[in-house]
């Protein structure tokens, strides 16, 4: 077994972990659950030798281990698969798999043949046909995850830690990962699994431990609990509090799309959204939802179709035209497309409208500060000050910066693409409350989400898409999770 006993970790005067204990058994998956800042990452770093605990024990088969470095953890049989694989981009797949244990031949030279065969062997074990001679940087994120897993198997890992491994994977890739984890369980591996997605936790995990503010808030078997109980342990709130439905007066149609089509992505998409309304778009990966929204915002070119704002037909070929028309778009990937992480909150929020906070070619610092303070406070960004870099904020607060940035343009319609992707349930609740304030202020909101509970919880209407087409539309009284999933899967009778 892997046992963590009364683990404490302090950073100066801050207690990151306080008396945390957990037990992980061979052939079972232990879910480590908690909000951002609950201590999950700190435990992973202690288990993998990145951090040394202030006190407490890490035991394998009853024997305490004091890891002084990540190499010590690997030598003890512990490997981690991270959300963003941390390997050597310019090396080959085989070199990455065998890094740290390069096979040597005569005279201490690298045995390239043995390295290649070792890589092929472990790749075969996980059902991957990736060539061992391929450069890592040429692979997709999903393929890099497979290489990380192969590296763990090559090191003969007994304990494998999965830290948000599905965040950037498609549904097909996620199902493949589930199959691999099931096979690892059958081999008797000890597996720890960190995820914000409860469907994943209930699909593959056997046991759980819940962390809250660096302490253990609960533990047990997954079969003996429910999502609502786990959320209450995490944040002290129920599911209904995480997905609140804002009450707002719904007015006239603001945005109307008719017959929107793209040569390869979607066809004949039509819908309306009204002032004070939240219109949800639900569908599986590849359904065409994001592509439709990108076309509306001028990021893709329509082959046909019309857009009307407040009853007037508009032509939108560029994001600038969309912004001038009163549209705002919060993209799915906030870290690469939504914000410039090394920039401050102030710089990010003023970026779309520099002309409004400038005097000629010079920035007006007072006007910029006034703009940022007004809208940062409206979306309740929690930060040290507005000069703090966005990279230093939690995922939820990063998302609020992006929403606040576009809200500052004073749009009439705001499109939110996967607004809570990759953030914990507490931060989700804060983002949903922010969305509620938008509709109460009279904005029309379109939300694209892959989380069924999210669209069911906050939407006034839901449109389902499959294979680039609208399947059906549901109003709130007719919401049914089963029916909506069936529609999105193309199984409506």
Instruction: Give 422-462 pLDDT, tens digit per residue.
Output: 676 667 777 888 888 889 989 999 999 887 788 888 999 99
Residues 31-60: tens digit of each pLDDT: 999 876 678 888 989 999 999 999 999 999
pTM of the model: 0.60
Q: 3-class DSSP state for residue 396?
A: helix
The answer to whether 147 and 93 are in contact (CB under 8 A) is: yes
pLDDT, position 189: 93
pLDDT, position 246: 76
- Checking if the pLDDT of 489 tops 80, the result is no
The answer to whether 465 and 471 are in contact (CB under 8 A) is: yes
- Checking if the pLDDT of 287 tops 80, the result is yes
Residues 246-257: tens digit of each pLDDT: 788 999 999 999
Q: What is the mean pLDDT of the chain?
A: 87
Domain architecture of the chain: domains with CATH = 2-236 (3.40.50.300), 253-488 (3.40.50.300)
Identify the residue with better confidence: 449 or 490: 449
**Band (241; pLDDT cuts 50, 70, 90):** low
pLDDT, position 237: 59
Rounded to an integer, the average pLDDT of 329-354 is 86
**Band (163; pLDDT cuts 50, 70, 90):** confident
- Checking if the pLDDT of 351 tops 90, the result is no
Residues 68-85: tens digit of each pLDDT: 898 899 889 898 887 766
pLDDT, position 239: 56
- Checking if the pLDDT of 493 tops 70, the result is no
Residues 290-335: tens digit of each pLDDT: 999 999 999 999 999 999 999 999 999 999 999 999 999 988 877 7
Rounded to an integer, the average pLDDT of 354-358 is 83
Rounded to an integer, the average pLDDT of 265-269 is 95
Rounded to an integer, the average pLDDT of 162-191 is 84
pLDDT, position 370: 86
pLDDT, position 186: 92
pLDDT, position 240: 61
């Amino acid at each position: 077994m892997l046992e963590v006993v009364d683990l404490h970790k302090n950073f100066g005067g801050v207690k990151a972990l306080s008396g945390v204990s957990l037990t992980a058994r061979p052939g079972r998956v232990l879910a480590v659950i908690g909000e951002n800042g609950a201590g999950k990452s700190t435990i992973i770093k202690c288990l993998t030798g990145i951090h040394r605990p202030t006190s407490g024990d890490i035991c394998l088969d009853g024997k305490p281990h004091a890891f002084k470095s990540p190499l010590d953890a690997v030598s003890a049989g512990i490997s981690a698969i991270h959300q963003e694989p941390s390997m050597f981009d310019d090396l080959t797949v085989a070199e990455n798999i065998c890094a740290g244990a390069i096979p040597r031949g005569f005279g201490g030279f690298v045995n390239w043949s043995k390295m290649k065969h070792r890589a092929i062997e472990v790749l075969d074990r996980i059902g991957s046909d990736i060539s061992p001679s391929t450069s890592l940087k040429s692979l997709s994120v999903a393929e890099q995850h497979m290489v990380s897993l192969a590296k763990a198997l090559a090191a003969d890992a007994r304990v494998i830690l999965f830290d948000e491994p599905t965040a950037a994977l498609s549904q097909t890739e996620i199902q493949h990962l589930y199959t691999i984890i099931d096979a690892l369980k059958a081999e008797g591996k000890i597996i720890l699994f960190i995820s914000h997605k409860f469907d994943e936790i209930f699909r593959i995990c056997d046991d759980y431990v819940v962390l809250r503010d660096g302490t253990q808030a609960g533990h047990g078997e997954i079969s003996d609990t429910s999502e609502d109980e786990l959320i209450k342990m995490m944040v002290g709130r129920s599911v209904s509090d995480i997905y609140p439905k804002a009450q707002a007066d719904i007015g006239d149609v603001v945005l109307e799309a008719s017959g929107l089509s793209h040569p390869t992505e979607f066809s004949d998409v039509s819908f309306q959204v009204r002032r004070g309304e939240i219109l949800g778009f639900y569908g599986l990966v590849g359904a065409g939802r994001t592509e439709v929204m990108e076309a509306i915002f001028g990021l893709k070119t329509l082959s046909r179709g019309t857009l009307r704002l407040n009853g007037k037909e508009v032509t939108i070929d560029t994001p600038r035209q969309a912004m001038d028309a009163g549209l705002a778009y919060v993209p799915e990937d906030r870290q690469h497309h939504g914000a410039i992480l090394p920039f401050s909150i102030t710089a990010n929020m003023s970026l779309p409208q520099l002309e409004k906070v400038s005097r000629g070619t010079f920035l007006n610092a007072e006007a910029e500060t006034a703009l940022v303070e007004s809208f940062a406070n409206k979306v309740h960004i929690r930060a040290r000050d507005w000069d703090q870099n966005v990279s230093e904020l939690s995922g939820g607060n990063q998302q609020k910066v992006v929403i606040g940035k576009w809200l500052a343009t004073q749009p009439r319609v705001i499109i939110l693409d996967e607004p809570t992707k990759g953030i914990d349930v507490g931060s989700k609740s804060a983002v949903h409350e922010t969305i509620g304030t938008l509709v109460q202020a009279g904005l029309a909101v379109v939300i694209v989400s892959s989380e069924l509970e999210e669209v069911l919880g906050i939407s006034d209407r839901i449109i389902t898409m499959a294979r680039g087409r609208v399947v059906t539309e549901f109003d709130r009284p007719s919401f049914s999770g089963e029916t909506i999933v069936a529609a999105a899967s193309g199984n409506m009778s």
